[in-house]
Amino acid sequence: MKLSSDFLKKNQHFLRSCILYEVVREEPIYYAYNNFCYAVGKDAMEYPDFEFWYYRFYQGELDLDYDRSADPEPKKLVDMPVVLMKEIVKNLDAVERTCLRSMNHAIKDVADSFDPVFEKLDVGVYDFSLTWKLNKLSFSCDKQESGGCRFYKEHSHSWISEKSEESYIQKSLEYLTPLLTMPNIKVNHFSLRLSEETIAMNFNCDDLLPVPLNAKSVFIESQTTNQVVQFLSGMRPGSLESISLKIPERENYERIFETDQFKQAKNVEFDMDMEFNMADLVHFSHLKTFKFNLIGRNTFEDVPKIRDIISTSENFESCEMIYYAFRDDFSFEKFAASLGAEIPIGPLAEGERLTFTHRYQIPESNECLEFIVKKQYHGRCLVNVFKTRIS
């Protein structure tokens, strides 16, 4: 015989018996309530009522017909003074406040009176799942072969899961959108990884970032420059200091240089698989630090240009680059000669790479550039440059 859900929800003895069963199983209340909702439906009983019966049975009071009407009306969280609410919220971290603000409007207003500052938010979008990590708390929404998705949340070193008929993208955004639109939200480090399939999915910046994100540093890995520019433009330029990008395809990166985010950044790091040319170096003149892969054409012309551009950059502090000139039979010795430096003579220790150091005094200044150049595989060299003050 198949029992209707309406019958189950209206039969209070049956519902209370289900709660008693969870207590007998010694199931923790959070998991017990999830089991209860899964068995009889989420709208069968509100959590406060479930909690009342759970702890009553837990304390050995097993009367299923107990009349609650004579009990004093229980105090609610919103009944406490605002001053006390603020004291509680003040002692929570940003993640805990995020959970608390979803309870009701009064609590939300108190929680929003504290600027939410997260250490990091890492997001990965793939063709089978969307994952994110908020500080140390992990979440994942996975596509199911049977349709819909399953949402996973890390809790007390274990995982809580929930099945949904929605797509894994829609379900994920139900959690991420309220988070990323919180008033005055700040993220010290935001990272985003987009798989190749996200292009066909038409997953765009407006889906994830409906408002500009106030991030101090950002890492974006994507398949195309267009996608990178789209999501980089979703960052608030004034607060973004550091940018790190990875694009596997070899493309023209001019659009990146044109963004306000790049123009106002202080530190930029490009993955070493991304190749830049000498003409691109002028776009780096406002930066304090940068890291990139530079492909030249003529070492004897390129190296003095690199030195002169860096030496006239007022904000420059340091950089790291891989340099290789593919049309002039490039060699490590040629790079040293173009700087006017000498390569040390003598045997190398096992595993040691041939290295030389060269100092260049900046004209009409008490500062100099220190070049530390190390020979690499495939004819390339690793170049580290530091601006130092002459004592």
Task: Say yes or no to pLDDT of 108 above 90.
Answer: no
User: Which class would CATH give 285-391?
Assistant: alpha beta
φ, ψ dihedrals at 314, nearest 5°: -65, -35
Report how far residue 317's alpha carbon sits from residue 382's, in angstroms, rounded to the nearest whole number. 17
> What SS3 string covers 116-157?
CEEEEEEEEECCCEEEEEECCEEEEEEECCCCCEEEEEEECC
Q: How far apart are CA 269 and CA 289, in angstroms?
A: 8
Q: For position 6, what pLDDT does the model report? A: 64
pLDDT tens digits along 338-389: 999 988 887 777 878 899 999 999 998 999 999 999 999 888 999 999 999 8
pLDDT of the residue at 41:
80
Which DSSP letter does residue 354 get?
A: P
Reported as type and span, the H/E element at residue 246 is strand 242-246
Q: What is the pTM of this model?
A: 0.75
Greatest alpha-carbon span in the chain: 95
Lowest mean pLDDT among 167-176, 249-258, 301-310: 249-258
Pick from 8-17, 294-303, 373-382: least confident? 8-17
The residue ranges of every structural domain in the chain are 5-70, 83-111, 117-265, 285-391
pLDDT score for 350: 80
Q: In this predicted structure, which of 46-50, 94-98, 308-312, 328-332 has the lowest mean pLDDT?
A: 94-98
pLDDT, position 202: 81
What pLDDT shows up at residue 35? 86
Distance, CA of 47 to CA of 31 (rounded, Å): 12
- Given CA atoms 323, 329, 333, 334 in this order, what sign does their dihedral have? negative
> What pLDDT is recorded for position 1?
42
| pLDDT tier, 36 (very low <50, low <70, confident <90, very high otherwise) | confident
Average pLDDT, the chain: 86
Q: Could you tell me the two tokens for 109?
A: 């207003």
Looking only at the bridges linking them, the beta strands covering 158-164 and 149-155 are: antiparallel
pLDDT value at residue 329: 85
Question: What phi and psi, each to the nearest 5 degrees, are found at residue 287?
Answer: -85, 155
- Asked whether the predicted pLDDT for residue 24 surpasses 50, the reply is yes
Beta strand residue intervals within 51-136, DSSP E: 117-125, 129-134
The per-residue pLDDT for 205 is 83
